[in-house]
A and B are shown apart, each in its own frame.
Chain A
Amino acid sequence: MNSTEDVTLAVMPRELTQNPLRKIWMPCKNGLPDKHISQRRVCMTNCPTLIVTVGLPARGKTYISKKLTRYLNWIGVPTKEFNVGQYRRECVKIYKNFEFFRPDNEEGLKIRKQCALTALNDVRQYLSVEGGQVAVFDATNTTRERRGMIMRFAEQNGYKVFFVESVCEDPEVIAQNIVQVKLGSPDYIDCNTEEAVQDFMKRIKCYENSYQPLDEILDRELSYIKVMDVGRRYLVNRVQDHIQSRIVYYLMNIHITPRSIYLCRHGESDLNIRGRIGGDSGLSTRGKEFAHCLGKFIQDQNIKDLKVWTSQMKRTIQTAEALGVQYEQWKALNEIDAGVCEEMRYEEIQEHYPLEFALRDQDKYRYRYPKGESYEDLVQRLEPVIMELERQENVLVICHQAVMRCLLAYFLDKSADELPYLKCPLHTVLKLTPVAYGCKVQSIYLNVEAVNTHRDKPENVNISRLSEEALFTVPAHQ
């Protein structure tokens, strides 16, 4: 390249404009956002990914599929699962018995293959048309032949393939699995427990003879993780990119040991009473009372090896101190940074920053306070907390409203739109217990009065709205 030509051909840097909602700087032309060559997030992968589960029935494939999908969606990767069993149930309205799955049942085989193809078609719709980024193809996929078909499909469409195989021979684990999720399946809705278990065991047998696990030699060019004995051991082969690396890390950190996660906010704070957001104030009198009640509650729950986590803000630490046990402070659990609006009342925000206030109501998840954070930013900073929560067993997390909403959204699979409006009132503990494919929630109000800090989305979110319309849903305060 000629150096003198270089000077004249030097790229003219485009003007930048800051998106008023997300506070992201973007190139613009004539005052309007230009074709966006910069990406706002870390590039997880440059083409859609198809995750393919592999394994005999009752090996946790659907459990893994649903959990992984929930995690990926929460961190912002649009993901959807496609359960072939579901397609089969829609096709064959009534399940009679295991004979449907016999390897010599030609009629059954035809239907099952058709269901797989229909599901793949929907995968293509999701990844290539609807803008999905990851599809989880949840089926047994126990033969090399079936997996070959899926790989050809992926190649044709430009998808990367990553297999997740679950191998387990522990009869206790399998029995527990059947009890937890098979007995309640639509297939066994009219059976008694013994019948159902027997039939399901015979169903597993149908697959066993033709099962070809991923092979170290034959499948050495494939990308996969083999999960053995519910996570005691993993074999990881040819991780291709960032998203696969994150998926592997996640799968290696989850476990199925029964445990409970307790989420609550700090006790009512002085700023809470005055209707001010953010800041780093101490507990009010009622807040201290709550802390004391929380201590009693935790003692009564008699929880084995409970870990207690707080943020680095005074009010959560004061709350934890009342428990009289060891606790860890996480900066990542700090409340959302409201930037220039810190310590303001909503009325003041409306007065000084009416535009910002309106933008926030328009898209509360993505809205970033000037010199502050958005819920979207919060999720990113909370990801290591979630990862560690997955590793741990019994944990009590004492945090803040916005933070608790993010954590709750992860456990209860809430969308970005629902997340910022989840109800997390003061002085209420949420006890989360994993059950079947999801999470049971128990809400425990500890009977100490507190202000309400929940502001619903007002009807009028237009920037031209009146003050009264903006402040309509502000909760009462001093």
Chain B
Amino acid sequence: MMDADPDTDRFEEMPDHLQSGLTQNPLEKIWVPWMSSRLSRRRGSSVPQFTNSPTMIVMVGLPARGKTYISKKLTRYLNWIGVPTKVFNVGQYRREACQSYKNFEFFRPDNEEAMKIRKACALSALKDVSIYFSQDHGQVAVFDATNTTCERREVILFFAKENGYKVFFVESICDDPEIIAENIKQVKLSSPDYLNCDKEEAVADFLKRIECYKVTYIPLDDDKDRNLSYIKIFNVGSRYLVNRVQDHIQSRIVYYLMNIHVTPRTIYLCRHGESELNLVGRIGGDSGLSPRGNKFAAALGKYIRSQCIPDLRIWTSHMKRTIQTAEAVGVTYEQWKALNEIDAGVCEEMTYEEIQENFPEEFALRDQDKYRYRYPKGESYEDLVQRLEPVIMELERQENVLVVCHQAVMRCLLAYFLDKSAGELPYLKCPLHTVLKLTPVAYGCKVESVFLNVEAVNTHRDRPVCDEPQCSQTPPLRHSRAQPMASPAPTKAPCLEDLGLTELSLENVSVDRDAEDALVTVPDHI
């Protein structure tokens, strides 16, 4: 190992990495054994291991029970916390196989032709699941289909066992006709299946479709399925039955599912008003509001009151500027340390010009991989996401909330709601004095951007672009863990595109770049 040289003088002259046996990855500031590139495997993983084998989440339930809603939401959450997850919606495969949908007769249990197609679609989806796990570094696959028969579930269990995947079932049971009707209205009427139908026709057909499944539906059984791992959700969350949670990721999934709800509500995200440090182009710190910032705070108060939001909760960080902003709204607010701005470590309160002057290498590394880059003695966006997870969990529990926070923090929260990848997240536009109003709708989130008409500096710094065609670049460091992504679309190529690295030739993120190139996208300031 790293045996100490008995001659202490010589030992102290040894380079640090030989003394300690460790070297610090310059991007993420993670300590690794310095010989790891020569050794077979790095022993220390820098993220907690959620699970040691891929997991299949298998949805179970009649149509219009919220399976796809749950699938998409869960996938979005898991990707955001860094667990590569993908949805496999068998209905989608069916639409690709059958091109046009005629009516519910396709789903009749005695329709042999259709049964064959439907089974083939399920198998095709399973095949894609195994490709996702084995080739695309996926960790969780959400198998979104009715899976209402023991036979179908057996097929899936057998497939998983053969491949060494864990299986966790999520069954949604609901017999409230109002909920089902609302569900049909929200997501079925606009489905490709009902593109050319009028509303009444569509509803009537869909209800008959549900009847087709009811005949053969066998819910997970307390006794027969007692050795399976699953959660049963009753009536949109008033009751849950949880059986045999196997590991950490399943425990997190259960906790998440038990905290989400479908009650309509609105989330407002905004930054603090313009601060004194914003004005002079300095990052971080804990300064107060500028005069314009105070004006914004007053305007925010007015806007919030005009929205007449019932039971609005207001959250701020522990930093002066968000609290000053909330004070102007005039209602009780809660301070969360977790909402504090990203810690820029040694770069706190510097201008970008000063960072370029004092830490040009750091500045370049940050532009190479802004999501994973950790400031020396500071944090990375990746760290931020981890610290914001309890905030997201509580936001899911709550109803109407206004979150007054900071640029990097707001980017992370927005990325969660809008399903943005790690590559896009650090470049999301969150300007000062602009409120984003998020309303859940169908399977996603509607965003309304409201600029409150008080001028402010621009604090958004894009990735620098330059004319030079050839730039050498430190290759992004590879790690044993997979990279967090947004919920992937079926044809999306992983990793490189998400990092925006395909446009590398146009961008100067090289450590050797000129100061001018580094500072080309720095916004104006005093």
Could you tell me which A residues sit within 8 Å of B by CB distance?
Answer: 1, 3, 6-7, 10-11, 13-14, 16, 18, 23-25, 27, 37-43, 220, 232-239, 242, 245, 248-249, 252-253, 280, 282-283, 285, 288, 310, 312-314, 317-318, 320-322, 324-331, 342, 371, 377, 380-381, 388, 391
Instruction: Contact check, B20 vs A282: say whether CB atoms are below 8 A apart.
Output: yes
A320-B44, A391-B251 are known contacts; what are 4 more A-B pairs with Cβ within 8 Å?
A: A14-B327, A16-B320, A16-B323, A41-B334
Contact (A314, B20) CB under 8 Å given A238-B238, A238-B239, A321-B33: yes
Which of the candidate stretches B139-147, B293-301, B414-422, B453-461 sits at the interface with the other chain? B293-301
Summed over the interface, the residue pairs from A and B with CB atoms below 8 Å come to a total of 169
Which of the candidate stretches B61-69, B90-98, B241-249, B512-520 sits at the interface with the other chain? B241-249
In the assembled complex, which residues on chain B have CB atoms less than 8 Å from the CB atom of A282? 16, 19-20, 22
Instruction: Contact check, A235 vs B251: say whether CB atoms are below 8 A apart.
Output: no
| Number of chain B interface residues as a range | 35 or more
Query: What are the 6 closest A-B residue pairs judged by CB atoms, nearest first?
Result: A11-B330, A282-B20, A13-B327, A236-B240, A234-B242, A13-B328
Instruction: Contact check, A328 vs B49: say whether CB atoms are below 8 A apart.
Output: yes
Instruction: Contact check, A331 vs B19: say whether CB atoms are below 8 A apart.
Output: no
Instruction: Contact check, B327 vs A16: say whether CB atoms are below 8 A apart.
Output: yes
| Other-chain contact of A232, B244, B297, B377 (Cβ < 8 Å) | B244
Docked pose: A136 CA to B238 CA in angstroms: 23
Instruction: Contact check, A237 vs B238: say whether CB atoms are below 8 A apart.
Output: yes
Is the C-beta of B209 less than 8 angstroms from some C-beta in chain A?
no
Instruction: Contact check, B2 vs A288: say whether CB atoms are below 8 A apart.
Output: yes
Q: Which single residue of chain A is at the shortest CB-CB distance from B241?
A: A235
Interface centre among A25, A234, A285, A321 (most CB of B within 10 A): A25
Q: What are some 14 contacts across the A-B interface (CB < 8 A)?
A: A11-B301, A11-B329, A38-B334, A38-B335, A42-B394, A234-B241, A249-B255, A252-B251, A252-B254, A282-B22, A320-B44, A329-B30, A331-B386, A391-B248
Instruction: Contact check, B48 vs A388: say whether CB atoms are below 8 A apart.
Output: yes
Instruction: Contact check, B44 vs A242: say whether CB atoms are below 8 A apart.
Output: no
Docked pose: A25 CA to B289 CA in angstroms: 14
Instruction: Contact check, B259 vs A245: say whether CB atoms are below 8 A apart.
Output: yes
Interface centre among A43, A321, A371, A381 (most CB of B within 10 A): A321
Instruction: Contact check, A40 vs B43: say whether CB atoms are below 8 A apart.
Output: no
Could you tell me the distance in whole angstroms from the C-beta of B171 to the nearest C-beta in chain A?
Answer: 14
Is the C-beta of B356 less than 8 angstroms from some C-beta in chain A?
no
Instruction: Contact check, A380 vs B337: say whether CB atoms are below 8 A apart.
Output: yes
Instruction: Contact check, B241 vs A233: say whether CB atoms are below 8 A apart.
Output: yes
Q: Which single residue of chain A is at the shortest CB-CB distance from B386?
A: A331
**Chain B facing A: main interface SS:** mixed
Instruction: Contact check, B326 vs A237: say whether CB atoms are below 8 A apart.
Output: no
Contact (A321, B239) CB under 8 Å given A312-B31, A391-B248: no
Instruction: Contact check, B239 vs A236: say whether CB atoms are below 8 A apart.
Output: yes
In the assembled complex, which residues on chain B have CB atoms less than 8 Å from the CB atom of A220? 239
In the assembled complex, which residues on chain B have CB atoms less than 8 Å from the CB atom of A325? 43
Contact (A233, B44) CB under 8 Å given A16-B323, A38-B333, A288-B2: no
In the assembled complex, which residues on chain A have CB atoms less than 8 Å from the CB atom of B298? 10-11, 13
Contact (A37, B31) CB under 8 Å given A6-B302, A252-B251: no
Could you tell me which B residues sit within 8 Å of A by CB distance?
Answer: 1-2, 4, 8, 16, 19-22, 24, 29-31, 33, 43-49, 226, 238-245, 248, 251, 254-255, 258-259, 288, 294, 297-298, 301-302, 305-306, 316, 318-320, 323-324, 326-338, 348, 377, 383, 386-387, 394, 397
Contact (A328, B48) CB under 8 Å given A42-B336, A253-B251: yes
Instruction: Contact check, A321 vs B49: say whether CB atoms are below 8 A apart.
Output: no
Instruction: Contact check, A252 vs B333: say whether CB atoms are below 8 A apart.
Output: no
In the assembled complex, which residues on chain A have CB atoms less than 8 Å from the CB atom of B4? 285, 288
Instruction: Contact check, A11 vs B328: say whether CB atoms are below 8 A apart.
Output: yes
Instruction: Contact check, A388 vs B248: say whether CB atoms are below 8 A apart.
Output: yes
Could you tell me the distance in whole angstroms from the C-beta of B247 to the nearest C-beta in chain A?
Answer: 8
In the assembled complex, which residues on chain A have CB atoms less than 8 Å from the CB atom of B335? 24-25, 38-41
Docked pose: A280 CA to B348 CA in angstroms: 19
Could you tell me the distance in whole angstroms from the C-beta of A29 to the nearest C-beta in chain B?
Answer: 12
Instruction: Contact check, B337 vs A327: say whether CB atoms are below 8 A apart.
Output: no
In the assembled complex, which residues on chain A have CB atoms less than 8 Å from the CB atom of B383? 331
Docked pose: A260 CA to B83 CA in angstroms: 29
| Other-chain contact of A329, B24, B46, B251 (Cβ < 8 Å) | B46
Instruction: Contact check, B332 vs A245: say whether CB atoms are below 8 A apart.
Output: no
Docked pose: A239 CA to B305 CA in angstroms: 31
In the assembled complex, which residues on chain A have CB atoms less than 8 Å from the CB atom of B324? 13, 16
Could you tell me the distance in whole angstroms from the C-beta of B11 to the nearest C-beta in chain A?
Answer: 8
Instruction: Contact check, A6 vs B251: say whether CB atoms are below 8 A apart.
Output: no
Instruction: Contact check, A312 vs B239: say whether CB atoms are below 8 A apart.
Output: no
| Other-chain contact of B301, A10, A234, A391 (Cβ < 8 Å) | A10
Could you tell me the distance in whole angstroms from the C-beta of B174 to the nearest C-beta in chain A?
Answer: 15
Instruction: Contact check, B323 vs A25: say whether CB atoms are below 8 A apart.
Output: yes
Instruction: Contact check, A25 vs B318: say whether CB atoms are below 8 A apart.
Output: yes
Docked pose: A353 CA to B175 CA in angstroms: 65
Could you tell me the distance in whole angstroms from the C-beta of A82 to the nearest C-beta in chain B?
Answer: 27
| Other-chain contact of A310, B44, B301, B331 (Cβ < 8 Å) | B44
Could you tell me the distance in whole angstroms from the C-beta of A217 to the nearest C-beta in chain B?
Answer: 11
In the assembled complex, which residues on chain B have CB atoms less than 8 Å from the CB atom of A25? 318-320, 323, 335
Instruction: Contact check, B323 vs A38: say whether CB atoms are below 8 A apart.
Output: yes
Instruction: Contact check, B239 vs A237: say whether CB atoms are below 8 A apart.
Output: yes
